[in-house]
């Protein structure tokens, strides 16, 4: 038997020990707390305890999903219903809405059923890999003579299906233990695969449900994208009307006056021409700023990597940038990513009182996903429900089926992770930097 199989079996035994502790300890405890909290709903206390317990259950289930993915490459989709926007309300009404929303989610009841099964069948399947090695060691200890005082004190005792009462039966027990070791070396990883497959059958969302949720989310974000586009057009019209257009109108009036004064009062005409030249320069500057706000020139010319570096240089705090892009992405994706980075870094400088920020941009060609991580050492406490900026950022990314995840404990640090599914741009548009 090769060393790779031995290492894999021993690793599975260690993993099984961890899983058995999680199954019998955490899963059983959470199931009991969930049932008690439902009973407390009749007394009113459950309105406050149930959301906390359900959040803990989901974190526990997501941890098991993460273990399944990292250990054995098994993807278990969650399929939780997103909380409604109105859930940001505070007070008793918001608490009742949050509790009812969670209890109406079928995934909540799937998780609850899984907790019970995991505490029984899950514990048994997780226990087998390390228990077989433990029984092997136990059999070898017995055959060293330990069986004799045990038999002298209590008579014949059983080692699995072997009754030990003499040296031959003790040797038989030792060989039985070695047989268990052989089974463990061969089947331990497959036993844990079965454990995670059972978990997927219980708490994994079906492809049909995942597709339905994705369609619903894309429908919602499509309306948000249309609303954002209309608002952006109104902003551009307002900026043009109040800025460049007003200066161009004033410049036209000045040129009309110059035409009337050029023969009567050349000095005044020259003064008005100089003023018109200043107005034209200011109008051009405002038009450039307006265009830069719509789509920065460096983003169009050099791509997301260089645009992010240029943006970092203009920030009020030092930003360390690490870019790994081997190709240009589609322009809408680059634009959404750029303005998302700008929003997060601006929040870090203005609201988080950060002294340093770190920006990492990476494109995973195998998964077809743009991943952005922004970290700052500010005071933390960022919450999408507490401000329109982050909610608007979620809506902007939602139009691309993107995901925004925020980890921001009070006191910091804050980590903002952005993932956008996307494909490279057409050939010919290559990134200029890595």
Q: What is the pLDDT of residues 292-315, one digit of tens each?
A: 555 567 777 788 888 888 888 888
| Residue written as token pair 């004064």 | 261
Give yes or no for residue 106 having a pLDDT over 80: yes
| Residue written as token pair 């941890």 | 63
Please report the pLDDT score of residue 179 as a whole number: 84
pTM of the model: 0.56
Tokens of 188: 């331990």
- 10 Å Cβ neighbour count for 322? 12
pLDDT 10s digits, 24-49: 999 999 999 999 999 988 887 888 89
Mean pLDDT for the stretch of residues 65-72:
91
What string of H, E and C letters represents the secondary structure of 370-395?
A: EEEEEEECCCCCCCHHHCHHHHHHHH
The better pLDDT of the pair 260, 86 is held by 260
Q: 432: pLDDT confidence band, cut at 50, 70 and 90?
A: very low
Please report the pLDDT score of residue 6 as a whole number: 82
Give yes or no for residue 210 having a pLDDT over 70: no
Domain 224-294: give its CATH architecture: Up-down Bundle (1.20)
Cite the residue boundaries of each domain of the chain with CATH code 1.20.5: 224-294
Helices (H) and strands (E) in the chain, counts: 15, 7
DSSP symbols for 225-257: HHHHHHHHHHHHHHHIIIIIHHHHHHHHHHHHH
Cite the residue boundaries of each domain of the chain with CATH code 3.30.565.10: 301-421
The correct answer on CATH 3.40.50.280 for the domain covering 301-421 is: no
Q: Which of 142-156, 175-189, 357-371 has the lowest mean pLDDT?
A: 142-156
Please report the pLDDT score of residue 86 as a whole number: 43
Separation of alpha carbons 164 and 176, rounded Å: 12
């Amino acid at each position: 038997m090769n060393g790779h199989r031995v290492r894999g079996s021993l690793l599975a035994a260690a993993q099984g020990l961890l899983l058995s502790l999680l199954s019998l300890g955490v899963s059983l405890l959470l199931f009991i707390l969930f049932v008690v909290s439902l009973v407390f709903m009749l007394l009113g206390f459950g309105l406050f305890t149930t959301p906390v317990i359900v959040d803990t259950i989901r974190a526990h289930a997501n941890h098991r999903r993460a273990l399944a993915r990292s250990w054995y490459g098994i993807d278990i989709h969650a399929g939780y219903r997103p909380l409604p926007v109105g859930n940001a309300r505070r007070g008793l009404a918001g608490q009742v809405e949050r509790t009812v929303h969670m209890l109406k989610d079928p995934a909540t009841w799937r998780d609850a059923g899984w907790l019970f099964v995991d505490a029984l069948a899950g514990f048994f399947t997780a226990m087998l890999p390390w228990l077989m090695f433990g029984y092997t060691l136990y059999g070898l200890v017995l055959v060293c003579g330990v069986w004799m005082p045990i038999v002298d004190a209590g008579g014949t005792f059983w080692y699995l299906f072997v009754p030990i009462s003499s040296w031959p039966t003790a040797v038989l027990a030792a060989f039985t233990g070695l047989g268990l070791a052989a089974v463990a070396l061969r089947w331990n990883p497959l036993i844990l695969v079965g454990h995670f497959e059972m978990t997927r059958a219980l708490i994994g969302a079906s492809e049909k449900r995942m597709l339905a949720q994705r369609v619903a989310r894309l429908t919602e974000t499509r309306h948000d994208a249309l609303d954002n586009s209309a608002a952006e057009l109104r902003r551009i019209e307002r900026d043009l009307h109040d800025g460049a257009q007003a200066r161009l109108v004033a410049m036209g009036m000045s040129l009309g006056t110059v035409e009337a004064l050029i023969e009567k009062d050349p000095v005044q005409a020259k003064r008005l021409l100089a003023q018109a030249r200043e107005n034209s320069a200011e109008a051009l500057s405002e038009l450039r700023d307006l265009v830069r706000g719509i789509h920065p020139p460096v983003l169009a010319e050099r791509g997301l990597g260089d645009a992010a570096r240029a943006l970092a240089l203009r920030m009020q705090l030092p930003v360390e940038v690490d870019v790994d892009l081997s190709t240009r992405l589609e322009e809408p994706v680059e634009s959404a990513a750029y303005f998302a980075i700008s929003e997060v870094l601006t929040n870090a400088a203005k609201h988080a009182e950060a002294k340093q920020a770190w920006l990492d941009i990476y494109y995973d060609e195998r998964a077809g996903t743009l991943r952005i991580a922004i970290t700052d050492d500010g005071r933390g406490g960022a919450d999408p429900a507490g401000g329109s900026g982050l909610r608007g950022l979620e809506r902007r990314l939602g139009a691309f089926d993107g995901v925004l995840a925020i980890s921001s404990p009070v006191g910091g640090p804050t980590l903002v992770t952005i993932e956008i599914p996307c494909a490279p741009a057409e050939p010919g548009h290559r990134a200029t930097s890595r």
